[in-house]
Amino acid sequence: MEHLTLYGRQGWGSVLAETQLVWYGMPYELRSVGDLFADEEAQRELEKINPAVQVPTLVLPDGGVMTESGAITLWLAEEAESSELVPEPGAAERTQFLRWLFFVTSNIYPVYTYADDPSRFVPQESAQPAFAERMGDRAKKLYGVLNDEAAAPWFLGDRFSALDIYICAMTHWRPGRPWFEENTPNLVAIAAAAKALPKLAEVWARNYPDD
Ligand SMILES: N[C@@H](CCC(=O)N[C@@H](CS)C(=O)NCC(=O)O)C(=O)O
């Protein structure tokens, strides 16, 4: 396939797409975007491609645009004609894979959108910290649910999948490693195992150089 262009930022959600591109050995060009919460120029540039102004944003060889990490996950598996990260239709793990992929992308991920910059949603400055805290509580609850559902050594049991990549990436985010270690040991174990995969070592190190 012709090359893909991934707009991303070190350690941000673009790592979800980048790891999968690396896994499948798909050629891609990485375009680093500035801090989308602070850099208006970076916002304006990305907005031309993805009006939601978020990463990952993937531009396809035909100029089409793919956003939404969950959709990108399903699309990449199809494009790669691989079931290594996405259980194929009919596979025993498919149902739970889809359930938890959507749980992560449509339940947990938006909590970050709301808490990253509460001023976008709560005009009154004095109310913003409490709002962010409530969002943090929501994330903790949902990560607890995910932890209780997690099998071993991978989320789906014996079968590695893109869910393990999400868990590895997201346990680098809020509420922070100590909280995950104390409260979600199953997720932390999965994250460590995903981190140790030689195929992904470089891309993890690029995104999380301080680990
Ligand atoms: N639904 C999107 C969420 C992507 C997302 O929230 N990305 C964050 C980085 S982790 C972002 O770009 N935030 C910038 C902003 O919201 O301004 C997905 O699953 O890809």
Does residue 157 surpass a pLDDT of 60? Answer: yes
CATH of domain 4-82: 3.40.30.10
- Please count the other Cβ atoms lying within 10 Å of the Cβ belonging to residue 33: 21
Q: For position 137, what pLDDT does the model report? A: 98
Instruction: Return the pLDDT at 85.
Output: 99
pLDDT at 1 over 80: no
- Map residue 198 onto helix, strand or coil: helix
| Whether residue 10 has its Cβ less than 6 Å from ligand 1 | no
Ligand 1 in reach of 119 Cβ (< 6 A): no
pLDDT above 80: residue 2:
no
Q: What values do phi and psi take at 5, rounded to 5?
A: -115, 120
Q: What architecture does CATH give domain 94-199?
A: Up-down Bundle (1.20)
Phi, psi of 49 (to 5 degrees): -100, -45
pLDDT of residue 61: 94
Atom 2 (ligand 1) nearest CA:
68
Residue 12 near ligand 1, beta carbon < 6 Å: yes
pLDDT bin (cut points 50, 70, 90) of residue 17 is very high
Positions of CATH 1.20.1050.10 in the chain: 94-199
pLDDT for the residue 57:
98
The string of pLDDT tens digits covering residues 21-49 is: 999 999 999 999 999 999 999 999 999 99
Is 3 a residue whose pLDDT tops 70? yes
In the chain, the percentage of residues whose pLDDT exceeds 70 is: 99
* Mean pLDDT, rounded, for 161-174: 98
Question: pLDDT tens for residues 127-137?
Answer: 999 999 999 99
Does the beta carbon of 42 lie inside 6 Å of ligand 1? no
Average pLDDT over residues 51-70: 97
Q: Where in the chain are all domains bearing CATH 3.40.30.10?
A: 4-82
pLDDT digits (tens, 9 = 90+) for 104-148: 999 999 999 999 999 999 999 999 999 999 999 999 999 999 999
